[in-house]
Every structure is written in structure tokens, then in C-alpha cells.
Amino acid sequence: MSNSGTAPRLTDRSQAGPGLQAPSPLRELFAPLDQLLVCGGDARLARDPATGRNGYGCSPAPTPAIPSFSSCTATTISQRGYDAAESARTALMASAILHGLIDCFDARIEAMREELRALLGLGGSGTEVVFAASGTDAQLQALALSRALLGDDLVTVVVGADQTGSGTVHTARGVHFGDRSTNDCRVPKGAAIDGLGPVRSVALRLRGESGRLRSPAAIDAEVLETVESLVARGARVMLQVMDCSKLGLQAPSDGCADEIATRWPGRVQIVVDACQMRLGHRRIARSLGRGDMVLITGSKFYAGPPFSGALLLPPRLAAAIETAGPLAPGLAAYATRSDWPAHWRSLRGQFAAAPNFGQWLRWEAALEEIRAYDAVPDKFRRVALRLLGDGIARRIKASPALRLLPPQPRPAEADEFAAPTIFAFTCEPDGVPLSLARCRAISAALQNDADAPCLIGQPVGWGGHADDQFAALRICISARHVVDAWAAFPGDAYQAIAPILDDVAAVIARIAALLTQPERNTSAQDLHAV
């Protein structure tokens, strides 16, 4: 399945400049919900005509019979989320007929900001929420705001650049990460975004040249030395730190980030990549209290539909942004007026007023998933996550051809996420990890299995010139597993997780079977699918 198409857009925004309202008639809301859910994004949301799924294997309609352990990448919408999106659409239709679409849409987005703050334990904190189509789009927002606050002599430093989203190499430099933007504007991939790029960027890796993971102390030392050197030369720095990488790793340490924030206030802006959302409320509040911007999504751990991103801003930064000058004009290709808080009137005036229905509905579904997880008793959540994690790790270790990568301990503020929820493993039928290409083919074969399809996290590569010599596959726990377990057996976590672990065992058995069919693993058809 190819993901090279363009996600559909109900309203063409390519001719709508900043401050202009593109045509967005109420009749667009009458389109099929499946179509609305994949609008308002980039080519990553495009569906294959033959399967109806995007490049991640996800459908815009619920597929409850397909086991899903892919929340580190993307997850198909649940029935719960789908129903929430439909209800939200119906409510907006009714209010818009009476009071006007733009005003009603803006009011709903403002209400969603407050709902998200409350669900994250940030109610009354003064934290501002900026919505985005994806975590990648939110990175562009963070860069634009950092540049507005710190000035044009800005350098970005990305920690864990080898284990973050593929678009980060572009967003960190202020250049277009695709050939079609969120607002359906044709853009030249790799070219500077007007007023934002090019920005000098420094990529710091978690693995060394040999491919081996570097020690936390070595990473801390490099981060501190890099920032210190840049500041000494007069640069301002946007430091993107990794809360949870593709393989579940954190870098740099909290102590290192604390030291940087203390030593160079006003010279360094820390942006926390928490897009995996495998962290508790205390940890989010800790970062915001330090003055960090925080990138989040509703589409990773919480298993909302792909893509739904947001940027959290602490009160001090929010107050400064209100009085900052105009943002980069090129950002108008990636955001609309309602993405920004209503009281930021001057900043909002730089963007088109036309609603992004797809982004809104994906967040409606994601909020419902967060609410459902929040409603599960804390004790059950902790027990279920621990039991699931122990069970997944045991099953991977029990397969002779698979090797579980050791997870990194998480900080105490991670709450229930102190235990790992991403389980990465290499496939080693001959004692050597398979390449990225072969792991992609295995993932595609599982996804496209005609009899029993399933979804796992996309493989992560390392080693060699293109980080493709070796790779790991990933099986992940999501909030949906916990919510569904609680709904099935609220009084017995052991019994509740048994069916989930049965699905894990079946996935592992099928991977083991595929390893005995090397011609299938590297087939042109499967490689094209990813």
C-alpha cells in the first residue's frame, strides 16, 4: 500500500492567504464521517483506494476485529472515538444553523482547550493550548514561537534525532517536510518556509557511529557542551529534548535539562517532545513549570485517530507571545485561526478563519479516548499496565528468533508510565538482527494478511550510512487496551488482560512463521506497501 497520495481536502485552502476566510460552507459537514476524518492533514493521511487504509495501515472507520499494538506509530479509530466524532459533528451542525459556522466552530475549539487542560490536570494553571494537525505540525509552531521570542539568530538542537519522527529533520530547520501542507497548499519539500527557515540545526543521536546506544552520561555531556558552545558564540537555542523516543528512551536526563534552564534563561528555550504521551500529569506539569513548551498528541498512547497534535505553553511564555510580533507568514500553510487561543487576537489575525474539520474531529475522538482512560481507576490502570508489560516481555523473550531490547527506566514523575509500554525487539533467525527493509516487509505482511491482519509499530533502524543496517519491530500498549480490559472485567485485571496477551502471542507466532519464509520477507510487493 502506498502512502504517496494526497489527503483529501473538502475546501481548497491554497488560495486563502493569512487573514482571509476561505469558502467553508456548512454543507461540508454533511460529507461522510470517514471522509471528514482524513481531511485537514497532509499526504500521510491519504488512503489507498483498494484498501481504504492509510500508509500506517489505519482506517478512518473502526476495525475492532484487527488486533492493534501500533500506538507508537498510529492506531485505527475506535468505535468509542468514532461515535464521539459523529456526535460532535451533529451538535455543530445544529448550532451553526442558528448562530453561524465560524463562531460556533471557534467556540467549540475553545471549549476543547479547557477540556484538554482539565484531562491533563492543568485546569486553572494558565497553560495555553495550540492545536495542530500532527506532532510534526506542532514542531513548526514551536519553532515559530521560539523564533518570535528569542530572535532570528536561532539554532535548534534536537536530542534523539535518530529516534524521533522523520519530519523533524525538516521542521528543525524551518523547511517544508512534504510537498503538500496541512492547509492543502502545494509547497516545495525541503525549501525554507517563508519567514521561518532556513534555521541551523544540530542533531544529537542516541546511538554512536557503531550503532550501540550511548550512555545517558555521555548524552548529557554532549547536550550540555553543545548548548554551552552555541550560547558562548552568541546564538539563541531551541533545545528539543526527548521525553519518550521511538524505542521508549528519554534524553537528556532531567538534571541536565534543569541545569540548562537555570543557566541560560532567555537564551535557551526547551521544547519537550512528549508526542508519545507516555507520561503522567506530574511530569507534564514539571516541564511546564520549568518554562518548557511541550509537544503532545492524542494519537499515540491514547490511541486517537491519526493525526491530532498540540503544543502546550506555560503561562510566562503565553504572556510574552501575546505581545510578540507577527509569526512567520509561511506558517499560514500549516495552521488556521482557531488553532490559536481566542484572546490572542493579533496573532490569530494572521491566519485564515476557515475551519479544519478533520483536525477538529480527530481531536474530538482523542478527547473521548483520554476521558475513557481517565475514568479507569488509577489502581487498575497501574496493575493492568504492569501485567501487560510483563506478559509482552515474557512472550517476546520466549521466541527463540526474537531478542527484546532492554527498556530504559523512566522517571518517577512518569507515574504509571514508569514501567515500559513500548517493547522493541530485533528479529534474529540467524543470530544477526534483520535489516530495516526486511523488518518493514514483515510489518507490511502482518498488516496486509488477508486472513488475520494485525498492526504493530513501524520498525526503527540503525547502523550503516542510512540507519538501515539493522532494525527493531515494536509491540506497544495503548490506553485502549486498559480501557477495554476495564470494561470487560473491572474487578480482575489478570482475567481482563488475558485476551490481549493471547493476541500478542498470536502476533509473535506469526512473526516467527514469517522468519522461515525469507522470500516473503523481502518481496517487492511488501516493500512497496511501506
pLDDT tens readout for residues 22-39: 445 688 899 999 999 999
**The pLDDT of residue 299:** 95
Tell me what the mean pLDDT of segment 277-300 comes to: 96
Residue with grid cell 519553532, as numbered in its chain: 143
> Residue 499 belongs to what H/E stretch?
helix 493-514
Q: Residues 40, 133: contact at Cβ < 8 Å?
A: yes
> Residue 471 belongs to what H/E stretch?
strand 470-476
Judge whether residue 75 has pLDDT over 90: yes
> Residue 157 belongs to what H/E stretch?
strand 154-159
Phi, psi (5° rounding) for residue 222? -70, -40
The CA–CA distances, whole Å, from 350 to 21, 198, 331, 382 equal 11, 21, 9, 44
Tell me what the mean pLDDT of segment 375-400 comes to: 96
**The pLDDT of residue 23:** 44
**The pLDDT of residue 418:** 86
Judge whether residue 19 has pLDDT over 60: no
Judge whether residue 271 has pLDDT over 70: yes
Confidence of residue 13 (pLDDT cuts 50, 70, 90): very low
Instruction: Please tell me whether residue 84 adopts helix, strand or coil conformation.
Output: helix
Phi, psi (5° rounding) for residue 433? -60, 140
Tell me what the mean pLDDT of segment 389-418 comes to: 88
pLDDT tens readout for residues 214-235: 999 999 999 999 999 999 999 9
pLDDT tens readout for residues 139-178: 999 999 999 999 999 999 999 999 999 999 999 999 999 9
pTM comes to 0.93
* CA 304 – CA 367 distance, rounded (Å): 8
**Is the Cα dihedral 390, 392, 395, 399 positive or negative?**
negative
Here the cell at position 143 is 519553532
State yes or no: cis peptide before 30, omega within 30 of 0: no
Q: What is residue 184's DSSP assignment? A: S
**The pLDDT of residue 10:** 53
Q: What is residue 240's DSSP assignment? A: E
Tell me what the mean pLDDT of segment 241-251 comes to: 95
Confidence of residue 43 (pLDDT cuts 50, 70, 90): confident
Judge whether residue 411 has pLDDT over 90: no
Q: Residues 282, 413: contact at Cβ < 8 Å?
A: yes
Judge whether residue 526 has pLDDT over 80: no
**Is the Cα dihedral 218, 220, 225, 230 positive or negative?**
positive
Q: Pick 4 or 510 by higher pLDDT.
A: 510
Residues contacting 518, CB < 8 A, separation 6+: 438
| 472 CB burial (10 A radius; 0-12, 13-18, 19+) | buried
* CA 197 – CA 184 distance, rounded (Å): 20
* CA 453 – CA 447 distance, rounded (Å): 5
* CA 143 – CA 173 distance, rounded (Å): 9
Q: What is residue 376's DSSP assignment? A: S
* CA 58 – CA 447 distance, rounded (Å): 9
Phi, psi (5° rounding) for residue 63? -135, 70
Confidence of residue 48 (pLDDT cuts 50, 70, 90): confident
How high is the mean pLDDT of the chain?
91
**The pLDDT of residue 27:** 84
Angle between the 216-232 and 254-263 helix axes, to the nearest 10 degrees? 10
Here the cell at position 18 is 493569512
pLDDT tens readout for residues 422-443: 999 999 999 999 999 999 999 9
Here the cell at position 161 is 534525532
* CA 314 – CA 278 distance, rounded (Å): 20
Residue with grid cell 499515540, as numbered in its chain: 300
Confidence of residue 254 (pLDDT cuts 50, 70, 90): very high
* CA 405 – CA 393 distance, rounded (Å): 10
Here the cell at position 36 is 471528514
Judge whether residue 68 has pLDDT over 60: yes
DSSP 315-368: HHHHHHHHTS-PPPGGGGGT--GGGS-TT-HHHHTTS-----HHHHHHHHHHHH
Here the cell at position 27 is 454543507
> Residue 345 belongs to what H/E stretch?
helix 345-348
Here the cell at position 419 is 514501567
Of 44-53, 190-199, 275-284, which gets the smallest average pLDDT? 44-53
DSSP H helices, 293-334, are: 315-322
Listed residue (309, 307, 302) closest to 477, CA to CA: 302
Tell me the sheet residues that pair with 424: 474
Judge whether residue 3 has pLDDT over 90: no
Judge whether residue 7 has pLDDT over 50: no
The CA–CA distances, whole Å, from 186 to 13, 46, 180, 437 equal 10, 15, 5, 30
Confidence of residue 415 (pLDDT cuts 50, 70, 90): confident
How many degrees, rounded to 5, is the angle at CA 253 between CA 247 and CA 256?
145
**The pLDDT of residue 194:** 96
Residue with grid cell 456548512, as numbered in its chain: 26
